Amino acid sequence: MQTISTKLSPDAAKTLVRDWWTALGKYDEDKFLALLDENVVWEVKFVGHWLPNNGVTRGKAMAATNCIGLYGEMYDVARTSFNITNMVSDGDTVVIEFFIDGYTSAGARYDKVEYVSIVQLKDGKVTQVREYMDALKAKEAHSL
């Protein structure tokens, strides 16, 4: 029996992605992981060579380690926030612009580093992420 994928409305897709990013920003691992597909692929562009697997994470278990786990290691999560500035969606894809403002775990200022992520959805779960950022600011903040 073939299962039929259901496409979210653009507003529902934006809400799902907003909830997902907010969970990461609040370091809410359970909620963050609950919104990921088991076979998610997350690609971090430009600075990926400084990250595990050249910035490509495959699977929910690896996302727990390489995404939210690494976020907790790289940033002072109590003093760091995600701020969404724009979102557009067709229901299957959400493009989100945001910045991260706060501090690295080493205490360096992470001053409004801008990001754009293209998030693919299927059946109410995040299946793919392609993340782009102001690589120069990120590199300098982390002393890379």
Give the per-residue pLDDT at 2. 58
Give the per-residue pLDDT at 41. 96
The domains of the chain, with CATH numbers, are 10-141 (3.10.450.50)
Selection from 131, 128, 126 nearest residue 113 by Cα: 131
Tokens 């799902």 appear where? 16
Tell me which residues of the chain have a pLDDT lower than 50: none
Give the per-residue pLDDT at 63. 87
Q: Report the SS3 class of residue 69.
A: helix
Selection from 143, 144, 141, 135 nearest residue 47 by Cα: 135
Give the per-residue pLDDT at 114. 94
Give the per-residue pLDDT at 19. 95
Sign, Cα dihedral of 31, 73, 75, 48: negative
For 19, what's the count of Cα atoms within 13 Å in the CB-facing half-sphere? 15
Give the per-residue pLDDT at 72. 81
The answer to whether the beta carbons of residues 48 and 69 sit under 8 Å apart is no
Residue 105 burial class via C-beta count within 10 angstroms: exposed 0-12, middle 13-18, buried 19 and up = middle
The answer to whether the beta carbons of residues 9 and 91 sit under 8 Å apart is yes
Give the per-residue pLDDT at 123. 93
Selection from 96, 74, 87 nearest residue 141 by Cα: 74
Residue 25 is classified by DSSP as H
Distance CA 63, CA 22 (A): 16
Tokens 């653009």 appear where? 10
In the numeric block, which tokens belong to residue 1? 């029996």
Taking the model in full, what pTM does it have? Answer: 0.87
